[in-house]
Amino acid sequence: MHPFWNTLVKAFPTWLAPNLITFSGFLLVVFNFLLMAYFDPDFYASAPGHKHVPDWVWIVVGILNFMAYTLDGVDGKQARRTNSSTPLGELFDHGLDSWSCVYFVVTVYSIFGRGPTGVSVFVLYLLLWVVLFSFILSHWEKYNTGILFLPWGYDVSQVTISFVYIVTAIVGVEAWYEPFLFNFLYRDLFTTMIIGCAVFVTLPMSLLNFFRSYKNNTLKHNSVYEAMVPFFSPCLLFILSTAWILWSPSDILELHPRVFYFMVGTAFANITCQLIVCQMSSTRCPTLNWLLVPLFLVVIAVNLGVASYLESLLLYLLTTGFTLAHIHYGVRVVKQLSSHFQIYPFSLKKPNSD
């Protein structure tokens, strides 16, 4: 995609701040998520016998997804073109990418949805975690080696899914009911692609780069414990959220899948952003993210047999709290970095240039 991005970035005015490009792309991803949430709130719209998502929605989502992916690809090039690369830009780019993971995966889910021809909400939950761990694996690699490797799997998935959205508008969701090859359904292809990219591309390359750094004696952290600290909070988040699903008296994931995915994705984004800040500042990654404390208390309450209506209320309160806490954290960090480097986050103008 680099030849395309290199050509496209020349059309951008030199006064356009890279962070504004980054944020615009993120807003497009969020808009897609909200648009699909309106037309397919419970992921049944693509199931046989249900009212399907209008064709024009798939076209809009496909175009906006490709636009968001393109903006995510050119923001760094715009920064280098305007000589405005900063740690704030790096945090802004990868920090928003970490939150985009859940928006992207959940929006894609509407293509197949749940039901006899779709994917169960629990399988999608596991696939979401495959994507989340793949994302944090790359930043774990940079935390230890100082180099961020971005696999081609991301580019392939973005271009493919944008194309699939458009195709869905043309052929209809019914086309995905048919087997892709023999008894191999398109939903199975979707699952295989996500797992395959993680297992055969992202994981091997990250481990390979890690061991290369180890052999060259260039690792930033010499002990196994310090090297693995970034995985503690994500793994605990996975354990707690999975325990909630398994112990839920009201089957919370079946009842509120979209909200549950969003809660997990937001907590993960906060954990990842803290890791990114630590790798940028060469400081130690925190062992435990404080957002896991209220989640732990909720899981304990669920295990003790909380009433079904209270469980739903707890999920919504937790999701709201996580969202506000994550936004608050992001605003604080952006303000501190802007003040330290004497820059505006959405402008190339210097604060003291007046």
Look at the pTM and tell me if it is higher than 0.75: yes
Q: How many CB atoms lie within 10 A of CB 316?
A: 12
> Token pair of 120, please?
């169960």
Task: Write the pLDDT tens digit of every residue in 175-207.
Answer: 888 887 777 888 888 888 888 888 888 888 888
Nearest-angstrom CA–CA distance, 128 and 10: 35
Catalytic residue among 52, 94, 139, 326: 94
Residue 94 bears catalytic tag = yes
Report the share of the chain in percent with pLDDT over 70.
95
Examine the pLDDT at 130 and tell me if it is beyond 90. yes
Q: Return the structure tokens found at 204.
A: 């091997």
Q: What is the pLDDT of residues 222-273, one digit of tens each?
A: 888 988 999 999 999 999 999 999 999 889 999 999 999 999 999 999 999 9
**Quick one: pLDDT at residue 348?**
64
Highest-confidence segment of 51-55, 219-223, 338-342:
51-55
Residue 352 pLDDT > 70: no
Residue 329 pLDDT more than 70?
yes
Task: Report how far residue 29's alpha carbon sits from residue 26's, in angstroms, rounded to the nearest whole number.
Answer: 5
Tell me: pLDDT of 143 over 60. Answer: yes
353 pLDDT tier (thresholds 50, 70, 90): very low
The pLDDT of 18-34, averaged and rounded, is 93
Length of the chain (residues):
354
Task: Return the higher-pLDDT residue of 327 and 151.
Answer: 327
pLDDT band at residue 113, thresholds of 50, 70 and 90?
confident
Percent residues over pLDDT 90 in the chain: 46
Mean pLDDT confidence for 121-140: 93
Q: Which residues contact residue 74 at a Cβ distance below 8 angstroms, ignoring those fewer than 6 apart?
A: 5, 8, 9, 12, 21
pLDDT of residue 179: 81
Does the pLDDT of residue 354 top 50, yes or no? no
Task: Look at residue 265 in the predicted model and tell me its pLDDT.
Answer: 96
Burial of 21 per CB tally in 10 Å (0-12, 13-18, 19+): buried
112-121, 181-190, 261-270, 329-338: which has the minimum mean pLDDT?
A: 181-190
Is a pLDDT exceeding 60 seen at residue 351?
A: no
pLDDT(168) > 70: yes
User: 43-88, pLDDT tens digit by residue?
Assistant: 998 888 888 999 999 999 999 999 999 998 888 888 888 887 777 8
pLDDT at site 216: 87
Average pLDDT, the chain: 88
List Cα–Cα distances, 149 to 25, 146, 179, 204, 210, in angstroms. Answer: 21, 10, 35, 11, 11
Spatial separation of the C-alpha atoms in residues 63 and 65, rounded to whole Å: 5
pLDDT of residue 14: 85
The whole-number pLDDT of residue 321 equals 96
